[in-house]
């Protein structure tokens, strides 16, 4: 008996056609897969045309819509593929990783750098990889791209035009397509640890701030006044920021006292933050900031949105954020150093 696979279309470049104003998502599932019988012939495939958006327009409201669609149908399928634009795919994959707690089937996002209508497109190859991962029986949220499968909350788009657009940051690939087929690395997987739950409440009032030398500390009070509940800071190196002349640490301390949650990570893609090493990092830890460690920017931002959507308790926010929920973070073996 063939496994049942659901393919959910949401738009993106893969489903785009050229119009008078440029590429826009216009193709339905029949048009997308009309030339890919070989990819889907091994499975009983069904389609759900959920959205038709350029992924630049994919926002928390759409993440919730996708999560609900997956949750309501997961019991009927062996796996799912989500066709999605590449620009915000890593954000959606990370958000789904938190909202779909203990998802029991593979949920695989994919897209392409060129429309399926382009004869040299990467679309068919990416779909082939995604469908095979969806039929693997391996539970979790993943991104399949350029013959690689990545944990959804570890992937980041690192190239704008190359077919090798996505990379797994600080984490091994879950799978690679080679002459053996889809070669899956079981050690890179995080197994479900309880019931499958939809926890889709999100707080969109989260801001991402990339520091530059000379950043004005007043920005934190401005963001607080605008109603933001959380900030993710991409700091220098392993978590440094300036407090001489322009005292960012004092400004951070002030908004934390007012109830804002501040997360500090690194501008560097690889290795992650360690705020305990330098004086500049220890200053903000003492102020009550949380660490992103080796999370991707996308994983840290969506995790903070998700955590703030679950609770308003400062203690619970800290406890949830500093926990590895879906494989998104490697925590120090000695535990998280706290300054209280």
pLDDT tens-digit readout, 157-204: 999 999 999 999 999 999 999 999 999 998 888 888 899 999 999 999
pTM for the structure as a whole: 0.94
Q: Residues for the chain: how many in total?
A: 340
Task: State the average pLDDT for the chain.
Answer: 92
Q: Residue 340 above 80 pLDDT?
A: no
- Annotated catalytic, 13? yes
Q: Which of 10, 13, 92, 280 is catalytic?
A: 13
Residue 219 banded pLDDT, cuts 50, 70, 90 = very high
Every domain of the chain with CATH number 3.40.50.40 lies at 206-321
Calculate what percentage of the chain has a pLDDT beyond 90: 78
Q: Report the candidate in 94, 97, 100, 125 with the shortest Cα–Cα distance to residue 112.
A: 125
Every domain of the chain with CATH number 3.40.50.1170 lies at 4-198
CB–CB of 23/97 below 8 Å?
no
pLDDT tens-digit readout, 221-257: 999 999 999 999 999 999 999 989 999 999 999 999 9
R_g of the chain computed on alpha carbons: 21
* Domain covering 4-198, topology: Rossmann fold (3.40.50)
Q: Residue 220 above 80 pLDDT?
A: yes
Q: How many angstroms separate the Cα of 21 from the Cα of each of 10, 79, 195, 260? A: 20, 36, 46, 41
Q: Which segments within 61-219 are labelled E, that is strand?
A: 79-83, 100-101, 106-110, 140-145, 148-151, 155-157, 166-168, 175-178, 181-184, 197-198, 206-210
Q: How many angstroms separate the Cα of 140 from the Cα of each of 2, 102, 243, 259? A: 21, 8, 41, 33
Domain spanning 206-321 has what CATH number? Answer: 3.40.50.40
pLDDT tens-digit readout, 255-309: 999 999 999 999 999 999 999 898 878 888 888 999 999 999 999 999 999 999 9
Phi, psi of 51 (to 5 degrees): -140, 165
Q: Report the candidate in 61, 37, 60, 115 with the shortest Cα–Cα distance to residue 83.
A: 115
């Amino acid at each position: 008996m063939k496994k049942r696979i659901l393919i959910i279309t949401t738009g993106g470049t893969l489903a785009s056609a050229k119009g008078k104003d440029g590429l826009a998502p216009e193709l339905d599932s029949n048009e997308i897969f009309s030339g890919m019988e070989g990819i889907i012939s091994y499975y009983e495939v069904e389609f759900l045309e959920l959205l038709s958006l350029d992924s630049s327009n994919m926002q928390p409201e759409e993440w919730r819509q996708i999560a609900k669609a997956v949750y309501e149908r997961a019991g009927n399928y062996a796996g799912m593929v989500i066709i999605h634009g590449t620009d915000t795919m890593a954000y959606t994959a990370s958000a789904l990783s938190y909202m779909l707690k203990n998802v029991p089937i593979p949920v695989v996002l994919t897209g392409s750098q060129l429309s399926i209508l382009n004869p040299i497109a990467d679309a068919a190859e990416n779909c082939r990889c995604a469908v095979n991962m969806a039929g693997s029986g391996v539970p979790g949220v993943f991104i399949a791209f350029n013959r690689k499968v990545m944990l959804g909350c570890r992937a980041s788009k690192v190239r704008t035009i190359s077919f090798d657009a996505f990379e797994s940051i600080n984490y091994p690939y879950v799978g690679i397509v080679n002459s053996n087929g889809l070669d899956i690395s079981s050690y890179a997987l995080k197994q479900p640890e309880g019931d499958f739950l939809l926890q889709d409440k999100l707080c969109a009032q989260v801001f991402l701030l990339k520091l530059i030398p000379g950043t004005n500390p007043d920005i934190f009070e401005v963001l607080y006044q605008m109603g933001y509940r959380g900030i993710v800071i991409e700091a220098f190196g392993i978590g440094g920021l300036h407090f001489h002349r322009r005292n960012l640490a004092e400004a951070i301390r002030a908004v934390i006292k007012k109830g804002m949650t501040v997360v500090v990570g690194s501008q560097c893609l690889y290795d992650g933050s360690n705020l305990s090493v330098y004086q500049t990092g220890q200053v903000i830890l003492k102020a009550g900031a949380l660490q992103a460690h080796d999370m991707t920017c996308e994983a840290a931002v969506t995790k903070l949105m998700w955590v703030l959507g679950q609770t308003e308790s400062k203690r619970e926010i800290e406890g949830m954020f500093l926990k590895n929920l879906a494989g998104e973070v490697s925590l120090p073996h000695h535990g998280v150093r706290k300054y209280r």
